[in-house]
Amino acid sequence: MKKIFFLLLTVTIIQFAQKKTFEQRADSVLALMNLEEKVGQLIQYSDGYATGGSTVGPKENMEELTRKGGVGSFFNVIGVKAIKKLQKVAVEESRLKIPLIFGLDVIHGYRAIFPVPLAEASSWNPSLVEKSARWQAIEAASAGLQWTFNPMVDIARDPRWGRIMEGSGEDPYLGSQMSAARVRGYQGKDLSANTNILACVKHYAAYGGAEGGRDYNTVDLSERNFRDYYLPPYKAAVDAGVGSLMASFNEIGGVPSSASKFLMTQILRNEWKSDAFVVSDWNSIGELIPHGVAKNLKQAAELGINATVDMDMQASAYYMHLAELVKEGKVNIKLVDDAVRRVLIAKFKLGLFDSPYKYLDEEREKKNVMSKDIVNVTKEVALETLVLLKNEKNVLPLKKDIKKLAVIGELANSNDDVLGGWAAQGRKEDGVSILEGIKNKIGMNTKINFVEGCKVLGEDKSGFEKAVEAVENADAAIVVIGENRSMTGEASSRASIDIPGVQEELAIQLIKTGKPVVIVLMNGRPLSFPNLQKNASAILETWFAGIQAGNAVADVLFGDFNPNGKLPVTFPRSVGQVPIYYNHKNTGRPHNPGDHYTSYYMDFDNTPLYPFGYGLSYTTFEYSAPVLSKTQIKKDESLKISFSVKNTGSVEGSEVAQLYIRDLVGSVTRPVKELKDFAKISLKPGELKNIEFTITPEKLKFYDINMNYIVEPGDFKVFVGTNSVDVKEARFSVVE
């Protein structure tokens, strides 16, 4: 015990000393800088924009700007050669030789594209997600990058919002696990290793709360809702040591994030004690003008720096006005110094001052970009992201010796859409389509008949007949439908969340043939398809599963991998139910079918199409009733809950056991369920495993009526189960 204590003390002292050193070193550089050079460190441009010609770009080209110390960072500069050229100018030709930091949106891979983040969250496997980020970092670092604008951790309860695909879904607990895992994966243990890159948690904050799910739209949340549900994943990233944050485009309650002292100063700096630097989103400081809180770019710059938004991405607000604002006495130089210090510390942590070319090795780039190893990892990850939504009569898995197989749908033959949105340097020639994956999987004895049937978009049904004929002549059919990769992501909100075009109609016609039909969905958001859900026997949700999508999906379709993904977000029956999420409040009039004056829709059930946490397996699991170590605890005590899960089927499988709680009476209303823990376990047929979760005071805390973050005494329900609905419960109480 003593030994551990001294070890921890030593580690803390070393960490403290190192931090000191970074700060001291940053200060020694700061002392040499003139005002223009200081401002320069706070400016970031994208390749292309800064080469002139743009109305908002600087007058110098990238090299000139770098030479005079007028820029701190570039992004979208691709490849070691191009990055090296600019870094050389910075460290050999600028007065103070301060290295640049190069960033890119490595959201789910640089060139080797992994499943989209929402899909990765479906794995409910933080160590796998960490591994994914680790490999993404290795590849991106080999391409010369030192910074990714990820993880995106915005909680999203609205599938109309296209960027739901970039995050981890609707839940603060799962979202926080994924957030921290990605930060650990990107940054590694030691940021100075040239395989590690700086992470940037975004979009701070609550960008996913856009009204109507329309991108960039207004967000208005009560502080309680904001702190309880939206804030935790950003905090988790900060606790995991994230090196930077990105201010979001949106306003919250009238204050745009890029001007928000509440977010930046009060929460980030004062409450969380973070010294991570903040970069604006693309021109989000400039957008303070259309938001209507700045009359011009100069005032926008003043608001941004005053809120401690340290780096101005693309707005040129700091470039044009920050030095002038300081000279006029409108901005205190201390604010600028603090911002510069934070940026310099990040560069020191990355080791860029000591070795500015350490990421820039063309040989390494050739070796590591799209290496065989990383491609294999993309498949390993993809397998765990696939969610089996329905499997009646055990249609799945299909037999490999099937004689005639029909494969239908434009998406089945797409090696591009599998990449999903925000695919950095991903190329379609690296993508394995579902059709190709199936062909790779099954032998020459199976005749595959691919028919498109219809396009993803549009009303053309002329291909239906041929598709029906193909299915009639086959032993089974795989029908791949959903969204194009460009239908989710930034600026890709949809007012409808139906399966686009006539695809669902086609699928229904194919099901009517009576042949075994497997629906494979490809999409970046929850879709609503109640009719298809009712009629189809088998549905597999594959999201956008990355370059190895086809091979991973084929493994599941033909039984070489038993699916174990679970939904990280609720699937509505209809867009009219949105926002719909599992951790909702009970209301004063919870729905009672016998009572008209209760909370429900006249035309739709209150329940979702698929609940949060849902996902099937080729085997079945049985949960025992949970047993509590105590039924009464004090506010600062913990209790344990144990139960067993048994594999009652005939194949090996993995299950995600989930723990939810409900605080029955509080000083403020509490959700009907809140995820508090989960465990992914693998079980052989007949095998039984015991699971134990600890309910700590931290898991019971919330913002009370006075906005204090505390445990309140009272009665709690605790639930364990295979998803947020199918659960077994127990009760305990907390006393003073």
Catalytic residues: 281
Which residue is listed with tokens 């979760």? 693
CB atoms within 10 A of CB 158: 25
Q: Which residue number, 151 or 516, has a Cβ lying nearer to ligand BGC?
A: 151
Shortest reach from residue 166's CB to ligand BGC, in Å: 8
CB of 512 to ligand BGC, least distance (A): 43
Q: What is the gyration radius of the CA atoms in the chain, in angstroms?
A: 26
Q: Which is nearer to ligand BGC, 282 or 660 (CB)?
A: 282
149 binds ligand BGC (CB under 6 A): yes
Rule CB under 6 A: which of 271-290 touch ligand BGC?
281-282
Please give the Cα distance from 581 to 597 (Å, whole number): 22
Closest CA to 637 of 701, 695, 550, 575: 695
How far, in Å, CA of 238 to CA of 231, rounded? 11
Residues ≥6 apart with Cβ < 8 Å to 317: 285, 286, 297, 298, 300, 301, 304
Minimum CB separation of residue 663 from ligand BGC in Å reads 35
Question: Is the CB of 69 or the CB of 426 nearer to ligand BGC?
Answer: 426
Q: Which is nearer to ligand BGC, 281 or 312 (CB)?
A: 281
How many angstroms separate the CA atoms of 447 and 451, rounded? 13
Beta carbon nearer to ligand BGC, 149 or 581: 149
Nearer to ligand BGC, 252 or 456 (CB): 252
Q: Which residues contact 522 (CB under 8 A, 6 or more apart)?
A: 411, 417, 418, 434, 480, 481, 482, 483, 542, 543, 544
* Residue-wise DSSP of 549-593: HHHHHHHHHTTSS------SSPBPSSGGG-S--TT----SS---T
For ligand BGC (CB under 6 A), the number of binding residues is 6
CB burial readout 414-450, b (16+ within 10 A) else e: bbbbbbbbbbbbbeeebbbbbbbbbbebbeeebeebb
Q: Which helix (H) or strand (E) holds 142?
A: helix 126-142
Minimum distance, C-beta of residue 107 to ligand BGC, in the bound complex (Å): 8
Q: What is the DSSP letter of 610?
A: B
Q: How far is the CB of 69 from ligand BGC (least distance, A)?
A: 23
Is residue 510 within 8 A of residue 530, CB to CB? The reply is: no
Q: What are phi and psi of 681, to 5 degrees?
A: -125, 155
Q: Verify binding: residue 47, ligand BGC, rule CB under 6 A.
A: no
Q: Rounded CA gap, 495 and 442, in Å?
A: 40
Report yes or no: 66 and 50 within 8 Å, Cβ to Cβ. no
- Token pair, residue 631, equals 């039924």
Question: By beta-carbon distance, which residue lies closest to ligand BGC?
Answer: 149
Residue tagged 């969610």 (tokens):
387
Q: How many residues does the chain have?
A: 736
Rule CB under 6 A: which of 484-543 touch ligand BGC?
490
Q: Of the two residues 288 and 507, which places its CB atom closer to ligand BGC in the complex?
A: 288
Closest contact distance (angstroms) between CB of 172 and ligand BGC is 20
Q: Which is nearer to ligand BGC, 43 or 609 (CB)?
A: 43
CB 48 → ligand BGC: shortest distance, Å? 12
* Interface positions, 166-205, toward ligand BGC (CB under 6 A): 202
The DSSP result for 172-205, as a single string, is: HHHHHHHHHHHHHHHH-S-TTSTT--B-EEEEET
Among 62, 77, 105, 571, binds ligand BGC (CB under 6 A): 105
* Binding status of residue 45 toward ligand BGC by CB under 6 A: no
- Min separation Cβ 173 and ligand BGC, Å: 23
- Per CB under 6 A, residues contacting ligand BGC are 105, 149, 202, 281-282, 490
